[in-house]
Amino acid sequence: MKALCFDGKKLEYISDYPKPQSDEALVKVTMAGICGTDLEILQGYMSYEGVLGHEFVGVVEDAKNKELIGKRVVGEINVGCQNCEVCKKGNERHCPNRTVLGILNRDGAFAQYLSLPEKNLHVIPDSISDKQAVFIEPVAAAFEIKEQISLKPDWQVAIVGDGRLAQLIVSVLRTSCSKVTCFGRHQNKLDRLEKLGIKTKIGISKEDQHYFDLVVEATGSTSGFLDSMKLVKPKGVVILKSTIASKENLDLTPAVVNEITLVGSRCGPFRPAINALASGIISVDDLIESEYPLEKFQQAFDEAKKSNTLKVVLKP
Ligand SMILES: [Zn+2]
Ligand SMILES: [Zn+2]
């Protein structure tokens, strides 16, 4: 099968990569999204080697549960060992022996086929198109914030960053909080949010400093963390969504002095993400900017890396 494989140094297109062989469900990938994490992996994040990609929609080609065959699905990306204490408590996402699709010891979605345990798969309703479904994984990551923090409707909320994930986080948080401001750097991306009725800003003014009850850092850069510390009010909450490949020294003194609660936030629940897309309370319709076949991965990644690009998808 065709696949994009990262060998630790460079990403390569392989036309005869072995098709997954396992007792898991076999999924034919229809569409897969390139995300910030993929770009971080190419910079050395997770020291991952193998087929890249974790945001996908596909069709089940083979499974033990015959009812799944032919169904359009998306898939939760973490697979626990099922044996350890963490898994037994139902916390598979944090299993120390877990594999993660396209991120940790498990071939990913930038290929014609992938395999995942059947219980990781979610059948998606016809009302969600493939172009919407490819966003379910990152929308779920945005919903994780709601699982972690009990949001108050009158909170002043700031999102730092205007990229792919930040755009989804804004849409999700807006369903709970009315006062949401996005701090970005790219006018074209902020214009999209303005159209959705979101307040946007480039740069932090004096009045913004230490004004926000909740700040979500989703820039993927060290400066985003420093900006978040400037925006959050004393005793406020900062959610960290970026996995930053560079390990620069971060000054955590402001977090101590202002007694800030720092919350790391990763993958989230698929069910509310699917429901939100099916009901239309969250729109992802104008986020995809281009589609490429796997063979043209170089162009696809070059475009995804550009700072003003929103979403690039691959069609294996
Ligand atoms: Zn992702
Ligand atoms: Zn486990």
Q: How far is ligand 2, taken at its centre, from the CA of residue 309, in Å? A: 37
Ligand lying closest to the C-alpha of residue 81: 2
Taking the domains of the chain in order of start, what are their residue ranges?
3-135+287-314, 141-264
Q: How far is ligand 2, taken at its centre, from the CA of residue 120, in Å? A: 15
Phi/psi at 273 (5° precision): -70, -45
Indicate the Cα dihedral angle 48, 50, 51, 52, nearest 10°. Answer: 10
Q: How far is ligand 2, taken at its centre, from the CA of residue 81, in Å? A: 4
Residues with CB under 5 A from ligand 1 (ion): 35, 37
pTM of full prediction above 0.85: yes
3-state secondary structure of 14: strand
Q: 136: Cβ–Cβ under 8 A, 6 or more apart, which residues?
A: 57, 74, 122, 124, 128, 270, 273, 274, 277
pLDDT at residue 248, as a whole number: 67
Ligand lying closest to the C-alpha of residue 97: 2
- Residues 287 and 310 sit within 8 Å (Cβ to Cβ): yes
Q: How far is ligand 1, taken at its centre, from the CA of residue 97, in Å? A: 20
CA atoms within 13 A on the CB side of 43: 13
Single out the residue of 58, 1, 241 nearest to residue 140, CA to CA.
Answer: 241
Q: What is the pLDDT along the chain (316 residues), one digit of tens a residue?
A: 999 999 999 999 999 999 999 999 999 999 999 998 899 999 988 899 999 999 999 999 999 999 999 999 999 999 999 999 999 999 999 999 999 999 999 999 999 999 999 999 999 999 999 999 999 999 999 999 999 999 999 999 999 999 889 999 999 999 999 999 999 999 999 999 999 899 999 999 999 999 999 999 999 788 898 899 999 999 999 999 987 645 667 788 889 999 999 999 999 999 999 999 999 999 898 899 899 999 999 999 999 998 788 899 999 9
What is the 8-class DSSP label of residue 81? -
Q: How far is ligand 1, taken at its centre, from the CA of residue 209, in Å? A: 30
Ligand lying closest to the C-alpha of residue 78: 2
Q: How far is ligand 2, taken at its centre, from the CA of residue 82, in Å? A: 5
**Top-level class of domain 3-135+287-314:** alpha beta
Scan for tokens 């995809």, then name that residue: 288
> What is the C-alpha separation between 46 and 89, in angstroms, rounded?
25
Element (H, E) at 51: strand 50-51
CATH match of 141-264 with 3.40.50.300? no
Q: How far is ligand 2, taken at its centre, from the CA of residue 183, in Å? A: 38
pLDDT at residue 273, as a whole number: 96
